[in-house]
Amino acid sequence: MTCVMGILLILVALFIIKLILVSIFFYADIRAAQKKDPAAKSFVEVLLLYQGLHALVSYRIAHFLYKSHLFFLARLLSQATRFTTGIEIHPGAKIGKRFFIDHGMGVVIGETSIIGDDVLLYQGVTLGGTGLAKGKRHPTIGNNVVVGTGAKVLGDITIGDNSYIGANAVVIKDVPANSTVVGVPGRVTRQDGKKIDVSLDHIHTLDPIMQNIEELEKRIKNLENK
């Protein structure tokens, strides 16, 4: 009985030490989560209950193991974390400061992804590759980018700083800084705060199917007017 109590006490002490260490080393990330999630009521709530934070803590350790060439251990940790959080971050990915994944379930971040500072991802986001080629095959996400729920950002493309990827967009081409992208395939609808009229924009139109449909609509209208 005394032995069981002793083990329990040690486990509780280890858990408390872990919480203190995470609070110290991940202070900025926890504050960022509080800032980016209006539902977050307190520091302790984020520390104890946010899967996005737990996945980030585990990723930082796995990334250290990966850089130390302990690839199997790194992957083991990332897969175990996927099991407990629903978030899969490959240990090879590079992630900047104050990163936050809100809700988290279903997020996948590929091995050669590079993520800047102050990035926010929602549930169901994929930063994925487009083929079987080795080398850099995942996206580079700039600073202060938000990727909406369910969005897929695919291939070795760059998302410029301060951009917003809309929910469920599929982005397969570079996105300039300060842009909002929506749709499948993703097209820029807003840049530097200004709304972009897709039919008039000749630089940022990324959707050839939309262009064809608009062209056909114009021809139908012309025929109807005759």
Long-range Cβ pairs for the range 18-21 (8 Å, 24+) = 19/47, 19/48
Pair 128, 148: CB distance under 8 Å = no
Nearer to ligand COA, 56 or 121 (CB): 121
The least distance separating ligand COA from the CB of residue 146, rounded to whole angstroms, comes to 7
Burial (Cβ within 10 Å: 0-12, 13-18, ≥19) of residue 113: buried
The least distance separating ligand COA from the CB of residue 165, rounded to whole angstroms, comes to 8
The least distance separating ligand COA from the CB of residue 198, rounded to whole angstroms, comes to 8
Nearer to ligand COA, 18 or 35 (CB): 35
Closest CA relative to residue 189, chosen from 215, 212, 167: 167
Cα separation, 26 vs 66, in Å, equals 20
Cα separation, 205 vs 199, in Å, equals 8
Residues that bind ligand COA in the complex, under the rule CB under 6 A: 103, 122, 148-149, 164, 166-168, 180, 182-183, 189-190
Which DSSP helix (H) or strand (E) runs through 118?
none
Nearer to ligand COA, 47 or 171 (CB): 171
The least distance separating ligand COA from the CB of residue 149, rounded to whole angstroms, comes to 4
Nearer to ligand COA, 74 or 182 (CB): 182
Peptide bond preceding 91 in cis form (omega within 30 of 0) = no
The least distance separating ligand COA from the CB of residue 65, rounded to whole angstroms, comes to 31
Nearer to ligand COA, 100 or 122 (CB): 122
